[in-house]
Amino acid sequence: MKRRVVVTGMGTINPIGQNVEETWEGLITGRSGIGPVTRFDISEYGARIAGEVKDFDISQYIDKKNARKMALFTQFAVASAHQALKQAELMKEGSFDPFRTGVILGNGIGGFEVVQESTEDLIEKGPGRISPMTIPKMITNEGAGNIAIEFGLKGPCYIVATACASGTDAIGAALNSIRCNQADIIVTGGTEAAITKLAAAGFHKIHALSTRNDEPLKACRPFDKDRDGFILGEGAGILVLEELEHAKKRGATILAEITGYGITCDAGHITAPDPEGAGMARCMQYALDDAGIKPEDVDYINAHGTSTPTNDPIETKAIKTAFGDHAYKLKVSSTKSLTSHLVGGAGGLEAIISVLAIQNNIFPATYNLDTPDEGCDLDYVPNKVVPGKIDTVLSDSLGFGGHNGAIIIQRYKD
Q: What is the pLDDT of residue 125?
A: 95
Question: pLDDT-derived band of residue 123, with 50, 70 and 90 as boundaries?
Answer: very high
Q: Residue 201: what are its φ and ψ, rounded to 5°?
A: -70, -40
CA distance 125 to 398: 40
What mean pLDDT comes out for the span 355-373?
97
Confidence check: pLDDT of 32 > 90: yes
Question: pLDDT-derived band of residue 409, with 50, 70 and 90 as boundaries?
Answer: very high
Closest CA to 170 of 321, 368, 1, 395: 395
Helix (H), strand (E) at residue 359: helix 346-360
The domain defined by 5-256 carries CATH number 3.40.47.10: yes
Q: In 88-166, which ranges are E strands?
A: 101-106, 157-160
Taking CB atoms within 8 Å and a gap of at least 24, the contacts of 172-176 are: 172/261, 172/262, 172/263, 172/405, 172/407, 173/104, 174/5, 174/104, 174/241, 175/5, 175/241, 175/258, 175/261, 175/407, 176/261
What dotted CATH number matches 258-410?
A: 3.40.47.10
Would you report the helix, strand and coil content of the chain in percent, each value rounded to 5? 40, 20, 40
Closest CA to 406 of 285, 294, 319, 284: 284
Confidence check: pLDDT of 99 > 80: yes
Closest CA to 199 of 283, 101, 289, 109: 109
What mean pLDDT comes out for the span 94-107?
97
Helix (H), strand (E) at residue 20: helix 20-29
352 neighbors 237 (Cβ within 8 angstroms): yes
Q: What is the pLDDT of residue 1?
A: 72
Q: Which amino acid is at 52?
A: E
Q: For the chain, where do the domains classified as CATH 3.40.47.10 start and end?
A: 5-256, 258-410
Tell me the catalytic residues: 164, 304, 341
* Range list of H helices, 70-126: 72-87, 112-125
Q: What is the pLDDT of residue 2?
A: 85
List CB contacts of 133: < 8 A, sequence separation 6 or more: 69
What mean pLDDT comes out for the span 237-255?
98
What mean pLDDT comes out for the span 64-71?
94
Closest CA to 370 of 316, 288, 307, 414: 307
What mean pLDDT comes out for the span 279-303?
98
CA distance 67 to 158: 20
Q: What is the mean pLDDT of the chain?
A: 97
Question: pLDDT-derived band of residue 286, with 50, 70 and 90 as boundaries?
Answer: very high
Helix (H), strand (E) at residue 315: helix 311-323
Confidence check: pLDDT of 344 > 80: yes
What mean pLDDT comes out for the span 368-390?
97
List pLDDT tens digits, range 35-56: 999 999 999 999 999 999 999 9
Q: What is the pLDDT of residue 260?
A: 98
Closest CA to 15 of 56, 53, 63: 53
Torsion sign, CA atoms 10, 250, 104, 294: negative
Confidence check: pLDDT of 65 > 80: yes
Torsion sign, CA atoms 364, 365, 367, 373: positive
Question: pLDDT-derived band of residue 58, with 50, 70 and 90 as boundaries?
Answer: very high
